[in-house]
Amino acid sequence: MAIIERPVPATSVGPALPTVTPSSSLGVFRRPVAATGWRSWVFTVDHKRLGIMYGVAATFFFVVGGIEALLIRLQLAGPDGTVLSADVYNQMFTMHATSMVFLFAMPMAAAFGNYFLPLQVGARDVAFPRINAFGFWSFLFGAMFVNAGWFLGGAADGGWFMYAPNSGVAYSPSHGIDFWAIGLQITGIASLSGAINLIVTVLNMRTRGMSLMRMPVFTWMILVVQFLLLFAIPVITVALFLLTFQRVFGATFFSVEAGADPLLWQHLFWIFGHPEVYILVLPSFGIVSEVLPVFSKKPLFGYPFVVFSGAAIGFVGWGVWAHHMFASGIGPISVAVFSMSTMAIAVPTGIKIVNWTLTMWGGKLRFTTAMLFAMGLVVEFTIGGLSGVTHSVAPSDTQQTDTYYIVAHFHYVLFGGAVLGFFAGFYYWWPKVFGKCLGERLGKWNFWVMIVGLNLTFGPMHIVGLQGQPRRMYVHTESRAGEGFFNITFWNFAASVGAFIIAISVLLFLINIWHTHRTAPPAPLDPWDARTLEWMTTNPPKAHNFDSVPTVHALDEFFHRKYEDVGEGDEHDLRRVATAEELLAEQEANADHHIHLPSPSYWPVVLAFALPIVGFGVIYNHLIAVVGASIVVLAMFGWALEPSVALDTDYDPPAPDDGPGTELATVGGGRP
């Protein structure tokens, strides 16, 4: 095995010793170095493969959350709906929010971040590849754990905000909330490890010449998001621990009889919960800030303003949590302060909208599907942002909070913001990731159907909310529906129709994927005439991303290598001087030697798998928790003992120096 057969260096004192090689080793201790087959995915530490897996898992939970939404809308399509019982309805809206926020939007952002951030900063992988793999697997196992409640006596039913004391055992006797709290704890570990990973990657692994202010805006926004995660996740971790202790071990953190105050939970939850909103939406802002310049053939207008407004949102986002509590009775002074800070955060958000608009101004616009989705975001997010301003006016908010008006607001922000941004990203980067362009015709259908569905679903909710229908009601009634244009029943029906139109558009997207991968020809190397580094390599990128790590001289490096301004004085005349193919050939000709890449590993997935075992143990039997914890310790040991790079003997048969091996091993591997 690895340790014993280490060759003695020539410099050592004494006679040269022969290498000792073990006859064989147990297969399980060998590194899973396969480059193909399921093992190459399960044990991979490649940021691109992990990014794709994040994306697939997130899409799955998008569909799950979408089905939950459809059931909710079916129940509410008419008055006194009977599709779901009150109990199941409460589980349904709790899990819809949980799925969409924690199991779709966050991992989807992680998918984009994981895949493109290293490419955009010219790195070969993230800083801690095995932690990256661990992050994905703990997300996946945590997500499954959260949903395990469905099959074990009922899912969580306290709303995603899980206000105390309604989250106590007396008010929610099933194990659903236990699964929810511990499962989110596990996905929190994923977010936290991912955050540290990407922060270190950005700060330490940028390529030559890429100063912070030359980074693509997408990378910037992901960086801001990781800092938000780094500080927000610990807060929810504490809150979830308190909740778990209250439920499982009979603690009294939120019990009035014991002198505690239930509002403690609200503060903890929203100190996490509001930055979480920016965690969800900033990645899409980043995507749009990539897509708009490419299809406008212009750099992002006011790059430093966009960057700093993103950072400003990241900071001010910490000072606005109590606007979720304007009706909680926190006192007029607190309300006034948080009202003002909430208005203040509208300014940097507005800057972004203005800059996106001015990026298009004077451009040369190509309305590809990606561009349409990006423009759709600008429009729909503006609607959500403006209704957000009406909430910052606290007295007005006391009329609107906890009604469907709020539901409308944050769906315009999160669907109109985050989801449309993700779709822009899908269409823009699909050829980069899979080597084929998604169909434009189906894509445009996808876009327009989604826009219609989105506005038909969430638009009427403004009316319904202002007409006084509270959220989270499993039925609404004809007797309080009113008459005429603003009839609540009619607009509820309209919203339900809209929800199914959205479902059709998502279906169109899935069909588009299937169709593309069956029939589409390979995509050109640079299909959009893009501007950033990730397009300076093959489609899809090689395992080591770049044959030769590029040196960066300017913002939008790729564009400036392709085009030169030959105009004189104030005259500007941009001429193409190189094609993407030429640039790639040049890079391949100057390939680096000794590329160091980490090897796949068992331990991340083993360690991640042990976490839900601990969770089950906490809920059902503490002995199981001991077993799980023991596996955690063993896996950590195994991880710590494992060299970062696979050794020759890990290959079966052991790879000779010039043997077939794998691409990894040939290019750099870790072979001595």
Partner 1 sequence: MVREMSAGPSRRRLAGALTALGGVTLLAACAEDAPQDTWQPAGENAQRIQDLQWWVFAIAGAVGLIVFATIAWVSVRYRDRGQPIPRQTHGRPALEIGLTVLPALILVGVAIPTIGTLMDLSRTSDTECVVNVTGQQWWWEVDYPPQEGCGGFSEPIVTSGQMVIPTGTKVLVRGTSRDVIHSWWIPRLNGKRDMVPGRVQTVRLQADRPGIYAGQCTEFCGLSHANMRMEVVALDPADFETWKANQLADYTAPMEGSLAAAGEQVFISQCATCHQVDGLVNADGVPIIAQPQERVFAGAAPNLTNLTTRNTFAGATWDLLTPTCRDDVWNASPEEFGAAYLAGVSADCLNEVDLREWLRNAPAKKPMYADPEQLGPTDGLNRGMPYLALSEAQIDQIIAYLLERQ
Partner 2 sequence: MTTTGSKLLIGATVMAVVAAVVYGVIVGGALGTIGLSSAAMGLALLAGVNVYTRDADVSSMDTQAVMAAPAAAAAPGNSMWPIGAAVGGVLLVVGFVTYPVMVVFGVVVLLAATVEWTVQAWSERASGDATFNASLRGRMAHPLEFPVLGAIGLGVVIYSFSRIMLFLSQAGGPAAFATIAALILLVGFVVAFRPTVRSGAVAGVATIALVGLVAGGVAAALEGERELHPHETTGDLGREGQCDTGEETEADENASQTVGAKANLLADIVLHEDGRLEADALGLPGGAGQLVVARNNPTNVRFVNASGEERRLVLDLGTRPAVDENGDVIEDEEVPDQRCTALANEDGNQLLNFTVTEPSASGGPYAFVVPGVDGARVEVVVP
Q: Where in 355-394 is the site for partner 1 (CB under 8 A)?
A: 355, 357-358, 360-367, 372, 375-376, 378-380, 382-383, 386-387, 389-390, 392-394
Residue whose CB is less far from partner 1, 40 or 487:
487
3-class DSSP state of 105: helix
**Cα–Cα distance measured from residue 228 to residue 280, given in angstroms and rounded to the nearest whole number:** 10
Q: In the set 630, 652, 654, 663, which binds partner 2 (CB under 8 A)?
A: 630
- Residue 644 binds partner 2, judged by CB under 8 A: no
Q: How is residue 218 written in tokens?
A: 């997408």
Q: In the set 43, 137, 301, 603, which binds partner 1 (CB under 8 A)?
A: 301
Quote the least distance from Cβ 338 to partner 1, whole Å: 11
Quote the least distance from Cβ 65 to partner 1, whole Å: 19
- Residue 469 binds partner 1, judged by CB under 8 A: yes
Q: Which does 172 bind (CB under 5 to 8 A by kind): partner 2, partner 1, none?
A: partner 1
Q: Which does 448 bind (CB under 5 to 8 A by kind): partner 1, partner 2, none?
A: partner 1
Residues 6+ apart with CB under 8 A from 333: none
Q: Which of residues 244-273 bind partner 1 (CB under 8 A)?
A: 256, 260-263
**Cα–Cα distance measured from residue 228 to residue 318, given in angstroms and rounded to the nearest whole number:** 9
- Residue 256 binds partner 2, judged by CB under 8 A: yes
What count of other Cβ atoms lies within 10 Å of the Cβ of residue 625? Answer: 17
Q: What are phi and psi of 403, to 5 degrees?
A: -110, 175
Q: Which of residues 184-223 bind partner 1 (CB under 8 A)?
A: none
- Residue 3 binds partner 2, judged by CB under 8 A: yes
Q: In the set 259, 484, 569, 653, which binds partner 2 (CB under 8 A)?
A: 259
**Cα–Cα distance measured from residue 133 to residue 550, given in angstroms and rounded to the nearest whole number:** 26
Q: Which of residues 530-569 bind partner 1 (CB under 8 A)?
A: 555-556, 559, 563, 565
Quote the least distance from Cβ 202 to partner 1, whole Å: 22
Dihedral, 667, 669, 670, 672 alpha carbons, nearest 10: -40
Residues 6+ apart with CB under 8 A from 519: none
- Residue 29 binds partner 2, judged by CB under 8 A: yes
Q: How is residue 490 written in tokens?
A: 């009619």
**Cα–Cα distance measured from residue 155 to residue 177, given in angstroms and rounded to the nearest whole number:** 7
- Residue 640 binds partner 2, judged by CB under 8 A: yes
**Cα–Cα distance measured from residue 480 to residue 612, given in angstroms and rounded to the nearest whole number:** 45
**Cα–Cα distance measured from residue 462 to residue 479, given in angstroms and rounded to the nearest whole number:** 20
Burial 642-658 (b: 16+ CB within 10 A, else e): beebbbbbbbeeebeee
Q: In the set 339, 492, 505, 662, which binds partner 1 (CB under 8 A)?
A: 339
Closest C-alpha to 380, from 424, 325, 444, 345: 424
Burial 520-530 (b: 16+ CB within 10 A, else e): beebebbbbbb
Q: How is residue 268 written in tokens?
A: 């903890």
- Residue 170 binds partner 2, judged by CB under 8 A: no
Quote the least distance from Cβ 463 to partner 1, whole Å: 6
What count of other Cβ atoms lies within 10 Å of the Cβ of residue 324? Answer: 22
Residues 6+ apart with CB under 8 A from 435: 522, 523, 539, 540
Quote the least distance from Cβ 644 to partner 2, whole Å: 11
Dihedral, 321, 327, 332, 335 alpha carbons, nearest 10: 20
Using the contact rule CB under 8 A, the part of the chain among 21-29, 137-145, 387-395, 587-595 near partner 2 is: 21-29
Q: What are phi and psi of 481, to 5 degrees?
A: -90, -20
Residue whose CB is less far from partner 2, 353 or 627:
627
Instruction: Give Cα 657 distance to the centre of its chain.
Output: 41
Q: Which of residues 563-622 bind partner 2 (CB under 8 A)?
A: 622
Residue whose CB is less far from partner 1, 31 or 462:
462
Quote the least distance from Cβ 394 to partner 1, whole Å: 5
Residue whose CB is less far from partner 2, 257 or 483:
257
Quote the least distance from Cβ 432 to partner 1, whole Å: 22
- The DSSP letter of residue 403 is B
- Residue 636 binds partner 2, judged by CB under 8 A: yes
Q: Which of residues 397-436 bind partner 1 (CB under 8 A)?
A: 397-403, 408, 412
170, HSE (Cβ side, Cα atoms, 13 Å):
7
Quote the least distance from Cβ 24 to partner 2, whole Å: 7
**Cα–Cα distance measured from residue 185 to residue 172, given in angstroms and rounded to the nearest whole number:** 19
Residue whose CB is less far from partner 1, 208 or 366:
366
**Cα–Cα distance measured from residue 311 to residue 225, given in angstroms and rounded to the nearest whole number:** 9
Angle, CA of 409, 414 and 417, to the nearest 5°? 105
Residue whose CB is less far from partner 2, 85 or 644:
644
Residue whose CB is less far from partner 1, 278 or 404:
404
Residues 6+ apart with CB under 8 A from 88: none
Asked, as a colleague might, if the bond just before 7 is cis with ω within 30 of 0, I would say no
Residue whose CB is less far from partner 1, 343 or 631:
343
- Residue 233 binds partner 1, judged by CB under 8 A: no
Q: Which does 634 bind (CB under 5 to 8 A by kind): partner 2, partner 1, none?
A: partner 2
Using the contact rule CB under 8 A, the part of the chain among 54-62, 181-189, 571-579, 653-661 near partner 1 is: 571-579
**Cα–Cα distance measured from residue 472 to residue 94, given in angstroms and rounded to the nearest whole number:** 9
Asked, as a colleague might, if the bond just before 540 is cis with ω within 30 of 0, I would say yes
Q: Which does 60 bind (CB under 5 to 8 A by kind): partner 1, partner 2, none?
A: none
Using the contact rule CB under 8 A, the part of the chain among 5-13, 83-91, 430-438, 537-545 near partner 1 is: 83-91
- Residue 112 binds partner 1, judged by CB under 8 A: no
Residue whose CB is less far from partner 1, 406 or 597:
406
503, HSE (Cβ side, Cα atoms, 13 Å):
17
- Residue 26 binds partner 2, judged by CB under 8 A: yes
- Residue 504 binds partner 1, judged by CB under 8 A: no
Sketch the per residue contact string, 299 through 338, with partner 2: x for CB under 8 A, - otherwise.
------------------------------x-x-------
Closest C-alpha to 283, from 136, 451, 420, 383: 420
Instruction: Give Cα 527 distance to the centre of its chain.
Output: 25
Closest C-alpha to 607, from 43, 172, 191: 43
Q: Which does 20 bind (CB under 5 to 8 A by kind): partner 2, partner 1, none?
A: partner 2
Q: Which does 231 bind (CB under 5 to 8 A by kind): partner 2, partner 1, none?
A: none
Number of residues lying near partner 2 (CB under 8 A): 34
Quote the least distance from Cβ 5 to partner 2, whole Å: 8
Q: In the set 196, 353, 473, 634, which binds partner 2 (CB under 8 A)?
A: 634
**Cα–Cα distance measured from residue 582 to residue 585, given in angstroms and rounded to the nearest whole number:** 5
**Cα–Cα distance measured from residue 415 to residue 495, given in angstroms and rounded to the nearest whole number:** 14
Using the contact rule CB under 8 A, the part of the chain among 24-32, 46-54, 177-185, 340-348 near partner 2 is: 24-32
Residues in touch with partner 2 (CB under 8 A): 1, 3-4, 6, 8-9, 12-15, 17-18, 20-24, 26, 29, 256-257, 259, 329, 331, 622-623, 626-627, 630, 634, 636-637, 640-641
